[in-house]
Amino acid sequence: MGKFTVTHEINCNAETFWKTFFDKDYNEQLFLRELHFPEFSILEQKETETTITRKVAGQPKMDMPGPVAKLLGSNFRFTEDGTFTKATGVWRFKMTPSTMADKLRQEGTMRIEPIGDSKVRRIAQLEMEAKIFGIGGLIESSTEKQLRAGWDQSAVFMNRFLASKK
């Protein structure tokens, strides 16, 4: 099982961060244009006094070693179910793959910390597990590499997106 944390500075206050994170236009630009997902859509998003829940579906751009790409298939997709708890300020999410959902697990949390009037630190803690004999470790390390790159790219994009709105 792989666990890792990614941390980025985002140039906005907490309210703007969460408003942007849940914005449909921002998400479509991030996943379709910036991260080059062939498919991405928000299936459902609901807000109550205490939570925001969201379900998305996507087909990521795959950059995996040959054996992993072959195993997952060219039509690999995922759904992500997440819940933001307003009282704690924590987003919890779980990804369900279209292939081998009983053997692949990916989930995590994201929170932010203010580091000034107009800057926050985004902290994402991710876990992945691939229970596949002989290739599980390769899947986990490849997934971590791809996820780290995606989170890094998303931070750059979010700062650029926010700057364009000023």
The DSSP code for 33 is I
To 10 degrees, what angle do helices 14-21 and 136-164 make? 120
Instruction: State the average pLDDT over residues 114-123.
Output: 94
Given its phi and psi angles, is residue 43 left (phi above 0), alpha (psi -120 to 50 degrees) or beta?
Answer: alpha
Tell me the average pLDDT of the chain: 93
Residues 51-58 have a mean pLDDT of 98
pLDDT at 119: 97
Mean pLDDT of 116-122: 94
pTM recorded for the entire structure: 0.92
- Mean pLDDT on 82-108: 96
Structural domains of the chain, ranges and CATH numbers in brackets: 2-164 (3.30.530.20)
- Check residue 65 and give its pLDDT: 67
